Amino acid sequence: MRRGLLIILSSPSGAGKSTLAQRLRDWDADIEFSVSATTRAARPGELDGREYHFVDETAFKSQVTKGGMLEHAHVFGNFYGSPSGPVQDAINAGRDVLFDIDWQGAQQITNSALSAHTLSIFLLPPSIRELRNRLEKRAQDDAATIARRMDKSWDEISHWGSYDYVLVNDDLDTTEAHLKTIVTATRLRRSQQPGLTEHVRHLQSEFERLS
């Protein structure tokens, strides 16, 4: 049995993290999304408890005060955060939890008590022009919101150096393949295999009996 991973995916808006996060889930159904809490309104098609836990600002701040958030941030006028209890339970049970979050949340998680079990990956766009094109093509935001996201993009990109891995997402299929390789290798990290110490003890005992 292994310990679960906290898999963090970050990028500026439009660089593909949501698409690639879903592709990881399609590849391995045992990877579960961390369902964040947010104070923003639900978008068309979103359901409470599936995409997000939609809460008001008072309830959100109460959870933060009680230590119930593994990470939280204020983005574009709304609060976002990851409830800590379900994440700890998943790690102990050997299940991976996937976080689609910004650099602020990533730093909070990597500095938390669960830092030994984190895997952080930052996705870069092939160009700023392509980043804008992707935001416009997905048609989720008005022109003013796209402009705000573009203004924020460099601030996001400037934190690329604090991540374990950095991938340039110029081709979704190639980037997906690299993500799978990274996750597979990190699952075999010594810190993720709590049974190794006991196995080595058995080997030592066997060696001594045969000597």
Range 6-34+94-210 has CATH code 3.40.50.300: yes
* Tens digit of each residue's pLDDT (9 = 90 or more) over 49-81: 888 999 999 999 999 999 889 999 888 899 999
- 130 confidence band (pLDDT: 50, 70, 90): confident
**Domain positions in the chain:** 6-34+94-210
What is the model's pLDDT at position 139? 66
The 3-state DSSP class for residue 88 equals helix
Tell me 200's DSSP state.
H
* Tens digit of each residue's pLDDT (9 = 90 or more) over 87-105: 989 998 999 999 988 888 8
Please indicate whether residue 211 or residue 119 has the higher confidence score (pLDDT): 119
Burial per residue of 180-207, b for 16 or more beta-carbon CB atoms within 10 angstroms, e otherwise: eebbeebbeeeebeeeeeeeeeeeeeee
- 148 confidence band (pLDDT: 50, 70, 90): confident
Q: Is the pLDDT of residue 118 over 70?
A: yes
